[in-house]
Amino acid sequence: MVSTRTARNAGISAAVLFWTALPVMAALYPGYSHYTRAISELGAFGAPHALAWNLLGFAVPGVLLAISGAGIARSIDGRRTLLFWLLVLSALSLTGAGAFPAEMHDGSPAMRSGWTAAHLIMVLASSFFWIGAAFVLVVRVNRNPRWQHKRGFGRSLAVIAVIGMAINILARAIPVMADRPGLAQRVAFAAYFAWFLVAGWSFLAVEPRLKHSAA
């Protein structure tokens, strides 16, 4: 079983690693723009240091978030429930995005490529599992007397998830984002990592105090 401290630190480490690797790898990619270029381009076939990005940007953060998500779910439910699997699968799908790099030509994904299809499936799966987990978490917190005082946090987390996914999907319809698809994607990733950090702070940091009080 993942300890509270390990789960909390895993979420923090995932965010630090991803957001440190992103500007570093982008700086090593000639002509790369954070505003107009997709994050996946950093790990696409033929990209400079693609393997490093797929490991440091997708694979390792995904594993760390899986550990964090497992700890969050078990702190709420005390066992492996639907919430546990949704969080773990969302995070491991991010790892899968690094295991299946996309093929791109002039910044556009090669949609007929099996690699690109697999990459997109992993990205979408991560998003949908995450949204599902956000709403299941609200239900579980509302039904668990031990966590009644965190109902507001649960709803806030659901809002973060909806905003993050909406920006990623509807970016073209938002004027400030329309010509900046790379920026929209980064906002969505920021929401994703923020969700795990806030959830970890809300449900992992207080668990030891609850146990101490119960004793």
19-32 pLDDT per residue, tens: 999 999 999 999 99
DSSP label of 111:
T
Distance CA 148, CA 145 (A): 5
pLDDT tens digits, 77-117: 888 899 999 999 999 999 999 999 999 877 677 778 999 99
pLDDT of 210 above 60 = no
Give residue 153's identity as a one-letter amino acid code: F
Whether the pLDDT of residue 167 is over 80: the answer is no
Residues 6+ apart with CB under 8 A from 46: 104
Q: What distance in Å separates the CA atoms of residue 63 and residue 135, rounded to the nearest whole number?
A: 22
Q: Do 29 and 52 touch, CB atoms closer than 8 A?
A: no
Q: How confident is the model at residue 155 (pLDDT cuts 50, 70, 90)?
A: confident
Q: What is the mean pLDDT of residues 39-61?
A: 95
* Mean pLDDT across 34-57: 93
pLDDT of 212 above 80: no
